[in-house]
Structure 1
């Protein structure tokens, strides 16, 4: 009877130990995946190297004047110029304007659907043209997004 008890105790301890190890592996797995078991976060390349250069005041002023055209930090601007990356920052301003136009056209079409605007005889034609215009704006913006991908 002593051997059976001892053997069962050893087996139960081994089983509990295996469960604890499995639970810790699972916990470490989810810690590795990210918070709450999500997808791994992207690892960005860290900017950890520092280069200092000397330049004259006039050179610095010219550099700052060129950088002020773009909403970038000076270091980011220098890095983009150095590695010949395209500076397409003003391109997104046209997209914002188009999005604003689209939202304004939607508001206009909603106003035209109200009873107060039944005075217009060609109300349906105006609504169709506005909807076509909104669709063209969305198609242009989505095609631009797909080209960038």
Structure 2
């Protein structure tokens, strides 16, 4: 009986040890994956230079009024004006609106495909026009991104 207990204890200890080693190997494997790749880190240019300027109260108020039109911090707004990037701020808003339109049109076309909407005689024509419109929206947005690259 002593041998059985001893043998059972040794088997149990080796199983626990193997499980612990396997867990450590798994942990190291994922650490290596993290080092090798995964998602690319964003290349954020650090803004480490500080420039201070003096201006009158009226100039500051005008600057604040112009900045409030855009959802940007004051320093970002000034940087965009300095490097003539101000016009690109509104482009993203139109792109977001176009993307929303595209998703809404897709939802409409999915609804039209249901059996409940057999009332429309020209359902297929409506679906074709919606698909063409979605294609044009995507084509416009992708051509715009390719121009920016």
Name the TM-score, length of structure 2 as normaliser.
Answer: 0.69
Structure 2: tracts of 5 or more residues without a match? 1-30
- Cα 1:64–1:137 change in 2 (3 A) is same
Separation in 2, partners of 1:41, 1:101: 31
Separation in 1, partners of 2:44, 2:112: 49
After the TM superposition, which residues 38-117 of structure 1 pair with which residues of structure 2 at under 5 Å, given as runs? 38=37, 41=41, 43-117=43-117
Q: CA deviation at 1:60?
A: 0.7
Separation in 1, partners of 2:98, 2:133: 11
- Cα 1:131–1:84 change in 2 (3 A) is closer
Report the 3-state secondary structure (helix = DSSP H, G, I; strand = E; otherwise coil) of the residue aligned with 2:141. helix
Q: CA deviation at 1:91?
A: 1.0
Structure 1: tracts of 5 or more residues without a match? 1-29
Q: CA deviation at 1:113?
A: 1.1
The corresponding residue for 2:5 is none
Report the 3-state secondary structure (helix = DSSP H, G, I; strand = E; otherwise coil) of the residue aligned with 1:90. helix
Q: Which has the higher contact order (CA 8 A, sep 6+)?
A: 2
